[in-house]
Amino acid sequence: MTDTRQQAPPGWLVLLLAVSCGLTVANLYYAQPLLAELRGTYGVGEAAAGGVVTATQIGYATGMLLLVPLGDRRENRGLVAALLALACAGLVVTGVAPGFVVLLVASLVVGAASVVVQILIPFAADISPDAIRGRIVGRVVSGLLFGILLSRVVASLLAEVTSWRVVFLISAAAMAALAVVLRFILPRRAPKTDVHYGQLLRSTLAMWKKHPALRHRALYQSAMFGAFSAFWTTIAFVLTAPPFNYTQLGVGLFALAGAAGAAVAPLAGRWSDHGHGRRLTAGAFALCAAAFALAGFGAHSVILLAIAAIAIDTAVQATLVTGQHVIYQLDPSARARVNSVYLGTFFIGGAIGSQAGSIAYHLGGWTAVVVFAGALPLIGLAGMTRTEV
């Protein structure tokens, strides 16, 4: 009998997984360009408004640690559909939230449920043969990254012509439709373990100690995503203030600049397949640090800010894909658990970056943000020189 894992997955399935990841991960980022609108609706300050992004990322990190390991224990189609239904409910509450506290709680729920993305990516790795796994995962991750980047554009455009609340209500409808499609179209994937939930969580935490490469790559990516989140959480404040005075439409169009960086994901996967992941990671760290130096001179130049945005997004995407290529080779029988540790750490860094970036902007403006965020990839690069991954 032929092992189906040695056959390349059909193109339509890879596309479906990529689109699903993009639509779902967008839930984490719709609020970023809308922070000025949220401040006006609820009468809160910059640091508090940034807490919406932070709450979503904390929810995501929590879901990574508590929910994603179930991907190794439960049949994936039903688990994915249940999480998407929960995301739908959270988005509805977000869209009608009468107060800021309700908005924060709903954001936590949406973040936690959106970890369905990190069940679909290991799914793609599992159905791909070893020789092209990095390439296939890169294609799926490129869908995720386009979702991250284009979410800001979609949110800004919808908010400009309707209301910020409509953004979340439309996404709720998309999650409901996606839950139905994936429930009936995804191939069945048998659970890899039958251990009880408590043991599953303990085994997940044990991955951190067991695999040094996982620890190192998770911390590298945490630093990179912290820098990424600090930039994109605060850039809306910069663009809506003098000298730019952009509308929501202008902020959304600016976000298109970052989308150009998503093209690197499939290339990063290909280079990783050929053994160039470590050099690519080091180069990405250096590029990210240089981008923040450039962004520091861009307080009065949208062109410099746009170039910096492209470079930052390119660097983060390259390290994400190369990191996943490394960790997916550590324990094929526990890819969901390994991925939960990797991405959980990743989003803790993002949550810290979002909130610290908002506080830095409140205390010292754009200069404080770029100094803080620009130091993070340098820390990652320094740590990388001490390891072999």
Q: In whole angstroms, what is the distance from residue 26 CA to residue 145 CA?
A: 9
User: Based on the number of CB atoms within 10 Å of its own CB, is 270 exposed (0-12), middle (13-18) or buried (19 or more)?
Assistant: middle
Q: In whole angstroms, what is the distance from residue 18 CA to residue 7 CA?
A: 19
Check pLDDT > 50 for residue 4: no
Q: In whole angstroms, what is the distance from residue 313 CA to residue 310 CA?
A: 5
DSSP string spanning 196-256? Answer: -HHHHHHHHHHHHHH-HHHHHHHHHHHHHHHHHHHHHHHHHHHHTSTTT---HHHHHHHHH
Give the pTM: 0.79
Decide if 178 contacts 351 (C-beta within 8 A).
no
Residues ≥6 apart with Cβ < 8 Å to 202: none
Mean pLDDT of the chain: 89
Residues ≥6 apart with Cβ < 8 Å to 57: 28, 111, 229, 347, 348, 350, 351, 354
pLDDT digits (tens, 9 = 90+) for 112-144: 999 998 889 888 888 888 778 878 887 887 788
pLDDT digits (tens, 9 = 90+) for 224-233: 999 999 999 8
Q: In whole angstroms, what is the distance from residue 33 CA to residue 310 CA?
A: 17
pLDDT digits (tens, 9 = 90+) for 76-105: 889 999 999 999 999 999 999 999 999 999
Average pLDDT of 361-381?
96
Q: In whole angstroms, what is the distance from residue 339 CA to residue 23 CA?
A: 20
Percent of all residues in the chain with a pLDDT value above 70, rounded to a whole number: 97
Q: What is the dihedral of CA 262, 149, 348, 328, to 10 degrees?
A: -30
pLDDT digits (tens, 9 = 90+) for 313-368: 899 988 988 998 889 889 887 877 888 888 888 888 988 998 899 999 999 999 99
pLDDT band at 265 (very low <50, low <70, confident <90, very high): low
